[in-house]
């Protein structure tokens, strides 16, 4: 049974313009109204704005349901939310808006990072398998030739059988990729300086060793000062000729200045869903190199995949209303080693 109306916690949606319309279906809004005292159509885009309706809702809110574009919860914002006890984030990282003031206040925080990890891992699996089969280049060659060709002779070094795949970072996404690779005939090397026991299907290796042995390397580490350009000139030089580098994490993890000569020479291939800067300049060779697949940060949740994150967030709200712990609680200490 649902809690009575008097006992339901007050909730306010706080996220960027247009996000709620993509995140919440009518069924989600109905469920939200069942679980909490909220106007599921009231969305606070800016918690610092002098809007009386938003200010009143924030003053009453026990829960915030946040997503991309949420206002940072500074001491000034929190002072206007005296009853706030928890932040439920219907997306991945909470670093943008959950500040030190939140932890000092003792707020509970949960995130849908686990749900957001799934499409990134699926994108990565597809990129790994396509890299082994040289799908991008063979499609380009086919379009160029438009005639019969000795594909078997050209593809002698292609294929995924007994390839070595290197996974950098045992994050949720990295672990999920390892899991997805288990049915395939590949060797998986995993690098993570904080891991002592690998998940099933992977073997721990140092970063340099992983790069030297892998025909595909996929990056899944968080963006931290210690991971800035962790794939640098030495690691890139160690990659075997014809290897593919995949990045769905953050562009700053790869030294792109060191990577570009390998790509322009055709020695390496790359699948880049993120770059540094996030939008490459118009004259960047990444747009046109035949051995680069450049996508506009689409590996994470989009379209109907957003609803998976909403489902997880609503499950966390339901747990809160039942007095249960969050299933995916985020703690301040977690953020030192995670995205």
Active-site residue numbers? 250, 278, 297
Burial class (CB in 10 A: 0-12, 13-18, 19+), 336: exposed
Beta bridge partners of residue 292, listed in sequence order? 270
Q: List the structure tokens of 314.
A: 């609503």
> Quick check: 88 and 317 in contact, CB under 8 A?
yes
Separation between Cα atoms, residue 109 and residue 103, nearest integer Å: 9
User: CA-CA distance, 113 to 111, in Å (whole number)?
Assistant: 5
Question: For the sheet containing 292-294, what is the strand order?
Answer: 203-204, 186-191, 163-168, 216-219, 244-247, 269-272, 292-294
Half-sphere exposure of 111 (CA within 13 A, CB side): 21
């Amino acid at each position: 049974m649902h809690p009575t109306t008097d006992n339901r916690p007050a909730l306010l949606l706080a996220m960027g313009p247009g996000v709620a319309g993509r995140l919440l279906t009518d069924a989600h809004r109905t469920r939200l109204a069942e679980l909490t005292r909220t106007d599921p159509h009231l969305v606070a885009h800016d918690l610092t704005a002098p809007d009386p309706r938003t200010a009143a809702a924030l003053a009453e809110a026990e829960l915030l349901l946040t997503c991309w574009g949420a206002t940072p919860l500074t001491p000034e914002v929190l002072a206007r939310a005296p009853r706030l006890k928890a932040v439920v984030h219907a997306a991945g990282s909470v670093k943008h808006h959950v500040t030190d003031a939140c932890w000092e206040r003792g707020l509970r925080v949960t995130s849908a990072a686990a749900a957001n990890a799934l499409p990134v891992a699926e994108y990565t699996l597809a990129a790994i398998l396509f890299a082994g089969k040289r799908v991008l280049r063979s499609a380009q060659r086919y379009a160029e030739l438009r005639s019969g060709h000795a594909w078997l002779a050209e593809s002698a070094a292609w294929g995924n059988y007994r390839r070595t795949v290197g996974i950098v970072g045992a994050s949720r996404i990295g672990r999920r990729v390892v899991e997805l690779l288990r049915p395939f005939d590949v060797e998986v090397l995993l690098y993570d300086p904080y891991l002592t026991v690998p998940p099933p299907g992977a073997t721990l290796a140092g970063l340099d060793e992983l790069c030297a042995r892998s025909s595909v390397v996929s990056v899944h580490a968080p963006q931290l000062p210690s991971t800035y350009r962790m794939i640098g000139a030495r690691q890139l030089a160690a990659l075997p000729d014809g290897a593919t580098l995949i990045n769905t994490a953050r562009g700053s993890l790869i030294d792109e200045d060191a990577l570009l000569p390998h790509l322009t020479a055709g020695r390496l291939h790359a699948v880049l869903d993120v770059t540094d800067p996030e939008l490459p300049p118009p004259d960047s060779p990444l747009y046109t190199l035949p051995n680069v697949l450049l996508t506009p940060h689409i590996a994470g949740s989009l379209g109907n995949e957003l609803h998976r994150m909403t489902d997880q967030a609503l499950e966390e709200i339901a747990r809160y209303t039942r007095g249960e712990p969050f299933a995916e609680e985020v703690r301040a200490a977690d953020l030192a080693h995670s995205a």
